[in-house]
Amino acid sequence: MTGVQDEVPQGLRKVMAWIHGWLGLLAGWMLFAMFLTGTASYFRPEITQWMQPEMRAAPVPPERSAADAVRYLQTLAGDAAQWAIYLPDTRTAVTRAYVQDAPPPPGSPPKKRRPEIVIDPATGVQTTARDTRGGEQFYRFHFQLQLPHPWGRWLAGLCGMFMLVAIISGVITHKRIFADFFLLRWGKGQRSWLDAHNVSAVLALPYHAMITYTGLITLAALYMPWPARTNFPTPDAYYRAMTGEPPETPATGRAVPLASVSAMVRAAEREWPGGRASRLIVRHPGDAAATVTVVRHAGDGMNARGATITYAGTDGRRLAASAPPGAGVATAGVMLGLHLGSFAGPAMRWLFFLLGLTGTAMVGTGLLLWTAKRRRPGAAPFLGLRLVERLNIAAVAALPAGMAAFLLANRLIPAGQAGRADTEVAAMFWIWGGVAVAGWLRPARRAWAETLALSAVLFAAIPVVNAITTDRGLDRTLFGDGDALFRAFDLAMLAIALLLAFGASRAGRRPVPARAPRRRIERKEPAHAG
């Protein structure tokens, strides 16, 4: 690799260095937030479980949870056009259902969208657990950036394109990409930031390229919709071709009760040797044209788009099954599975989490390196440098404070308060914004140290507040039986707090003055006689 790099023309390397630096800067603040919240999303079901401490995971067979959910929805929304039922598994403790009402008659006002319905698998009725976005908030933010559809996804896609170009240009630019991987010099200012950037980039370079490319591919139909529009008459037809679901038939208006969905789930799982059902889509429930589509669990393989089998809702007859996907659909499904890590077991998920942290560090150190290269000892920083410095503090040091505030708000807001899920999200952005503004009012070095220290305090407070407000605190889970998830979550919060505290202590130190370079004295050989 080094030999190939030595052959890169110097002019091309300079152009690539310019592209790498400026694209990394322009998208860096968004990319840092996307990497950090996306890394947290590898544990989004576990985060959601922690944020609903009233729920205790109880292993329930999927056919039973499906039957209980259908029974409850028949009493709550029996006249709906469609139910989507997400079954619990080893990582989720509840059944989640979404109800889609039939469109109103022409001229009537549109119906308000129904909120998510959370069903306790142990009781089969709607749970009284606190309302929260849970880990879904971090997951949605990392590719929607809390902006209206589709603008957030467009912006995230643009940043992803910048990231992919920055990775390629960074590889071309770096002369000693593998030799410098073994160098990590502390307390050397710009040299230290460059070493940290190189190590975090090279250490997980295949992962960084994979996660960036697959992230772009998963939303390719949004960025480039013309092939789908050319080859399919409607977006619904394109979706059904991707998922393998049969075309929807209209309701007849004749009431017929649903057959046993438990039997349908069992039949589907028998047809998938070793497979699991993860989702049910019930169309026209209670109608003679009702259908039940069972979707295979995404964790059963690399392809995140699970196979489907559709049954007649009236008698359970098998109507259709998704055909083996073609090369394009299979590739898209595998790309999605790689990006989400849906196939990963616990060990692989932790590995993805650590690799995601290296990506976050790569972006963060790149932003800091940009300012370190342009800071001159004894000279007042120019306007652009001051602006970038403050934006770095807002993105790198203040965002963790906002994420910690989101988790703390989950415990401090009364469990029965109306609209509490939105209030949790608002707390995240108010604290993030407030801490960022406070950083603008302080000298840069103090702002770095104080903001990181505040983030460390907030993360350290999470296990304390959890112990005070619930009966599942670290004081009980550390030495008690069970509750491994709550114990691991609290210990992870303390580990993050220690990491942030270490960063605060390093940021608060004054830089060591650089030594003047020694003058090289050339030896002169004595003149030869004669």
pTM above 0.85, yes or no: yes
Band (233; pLDDT cuts 50, 70, 90): confident
What pLDDT was estimated at residue 188? 57
Token pair recorded at residue 467: 């112990």
pLDDT exceeds cutoff 90 at 490: yes
What pLDDT was estimated at residue 236? 80
Token pair recorded at residue 526: 């004595």
Give 383-442 pLDDT, tens digit per residue: 888 899 999 999 999 999 999 999 999 999 999 898 999 999 999 999 999 999 999 999
Answer whether 512's CB lies under 8 Å from 191's CB: no
pLDDT exceeds cutoff 60 at 518: no
- Compute φ and ψ for 375, nearest 5 degrees: -85, 130
What pLDDT was estimated at residue 410? 97
Token pair recorded at residue 180: 């410098």
pLDDT exceeds cutoff 50 at 4: no
% residues pLDDT > 90 (the chain): 49
- What is the maximal distance between C-alpha atoms in the chain? 120
User: For the chain, what are the domain ranges?
Assistant: 1-51+134-220+327-374, 62-131+245-322, 381-512
Token pair recorded at residue 153: 């996804």
CB count within 10 Å of CB 418 equals 9
pLDDT exceeds cutoff 60 at 517: no
Instruction: For residues 236 and 59, give the distance between their C-alpha atoms in angstroms, rounded to a whole number.
Output: 35
Instruction: Give me the mean pLDDT over the 451-465 stretch.
Output: 97
What is the chain's mean pLDDT, rounded?
86
User: Which residue pairs from 110-114 have beta carbons closer than 8 angstroms and sit at least 24 positions apart in sequence?
Assistant: 114/77
Instruction: Kindly give the interhelix angle for 484-507 and 398-412, rounded to the nearest 10 degrees.
Output: 140
